[in-house]
Amino acid sequence: MSGNSSAVKTIGVSNRRGFFCVDTNQSIDSEIKEYSRFKFGDINAIKSLSFATARFFIEELESGRCLREIFEKAKKEGEYVYLQSPGIRNVASSSNYLMVSVASIVNVWLVNNGYPSMIKKPIIRLASGITNYSEMSAEIRNRRVKTTVSLLPTSDYSAHPINVIFIDDVEVTGCTRKRSESSSIQGGALSFYSVFAYRVETELANKDASIENLMNQFAVKGHLDDEVSQILKHRDYQPVQRMLRLLLHPRNRDDWADFVRTKIPDEISLRLYLAAYSNDYHSIRIDGDLLYAPSLYILRNVMEGRGLVNELGLPV
């Protein structure tokens, strides 16, 4: 725990590029493999990480530390608590699902112990991101100009007494947290606290911030393989941004049509299709060239051939 921020586990990387928990010095490779699947929307991985994070959240509340103080004050002063995660457009991220699940679990404890429940408050992003943030160095993260705009509910903050708790799956350099905290406090929030499932140890994060990309791809490597098809076969699967970018990426284009026909259930294919159009994947460009549109059109043609959409591209 550090200041106004805490994490379930602080992690390091061994010489063999495996992961370990800094506090216990024990290998957590199996957890990071599950985390990798979590990032791409795996239903069971989302549940597992959500339960672990919620248990930690409740332990922090029971301990009487900073988190407890937020709710003690909110109860006494009639204040509110927003639980927020990094911004999304029309397609959720895995961290958004983590936020929703953790809030639902922790709110039971809060209500049963006489505290106000948290309000799940998604942050809206005006455009989909293009750059793979997880591959950036700490230096680039600190000086980059954001290509997307997130709309914080500053009118809420200024009109009502609101405390913000920010939740995310991993903290590497702290840039996202610092930006969110600064914007929230300047916008009128009473306080800002953050909770992370994982935190990369500071020295490692400053030396190699792209370690986040190693975490993301520890199980899901970025190709159309069995790991991806297993995630997509779950009947409750809902699209996340990272999965859409993987599926529609130019490197997977040659195998994409066959993968859709043979590896993805029709119902899931339709969810992916609708989500991709809603999140502007038809128009994202890099160096003037459409990045994902050709793969999206392949998906549409396959679905039209299977009778899932009509000649206008609308679901039937």
pLDDT at residue 147 greater than cutoff 70: no
Position 144 scores a pLDDT of: 47
Distance CA 52, CA 9 (A): 10
Mean pLDDT over 139-160 rounds to 76
CATH number given to 5-216: 3.40.50
Position 110 scores a pLDDT of: 98
Which has more confidence, 87 or 1?
Answer: 87
Position 2 scores a pLDDT of: 42
Q: Among the listed ranges 78-82, 142-146, 257-261, 273-277, which one has the minimum average pLDDT value?
A: 142-146
| Tokens read off for 175 | 């840039």
Provide DSSP, 201-237: -HHHHHH-TTHHHHHHTTT--SSSSHHHHHHHTSTT-
Q: In Å, what is the CA distance from 277 to each residue of 97, 230, 299?
A: 20, 23, 11
- The segment(s) of the chain belonging to CATH 3.40.50 are 5-216
pLDDT at residue 299 greater than cutoff 90: yes
Confidence grade of residue 1 (pLDDT, cut at 50, 70, 90): very low
Mean pLDDT over 168-197 rounds to 95
Q: In Å, what is the CA distance from 192 to each residue of 3, 73, 136, 187, 195?
A: 11, 13, 26, 11, 10
Position 131 scores a pLDDT of: 55
Distance CA 177, CA 171 (A): 8
| Tokens read off for 50 | 């959500």
> Is 189 in a helix, a strand, or coil?
coil
pLDDT at residue 141 greater than cutoff 50: no
Q: What is the chain's alpha carbon radius of gyration, rounded to the nearest angstrom?
A: 20
Q: Among the listed ranges 138-152, 158-172, 196-210, which one has the minimum average pLDDT value?
A: 138-152
> Is 166 in a helix, a strand, or coil?
strand
Provide DSSP, 39-82: HTT-HHHHHHHHHHHHHHHHHHHHHTSHHHHHHHHHHHHT-EEE
Distance CA 142, CA 248 (A): 29
Position 134 scores a pLDDT of: 45
Confidence grade of residue 64 (pLDDT, cut at 50, 70, 90): confident
Contact assessment for residue 40 and residue 240, using Cβ atoms and an 8 Å cutoff: yes
pTM: 0.92
CA 4 to chain centre: 21
Mean pLDDT over 43-47 rounds to 98
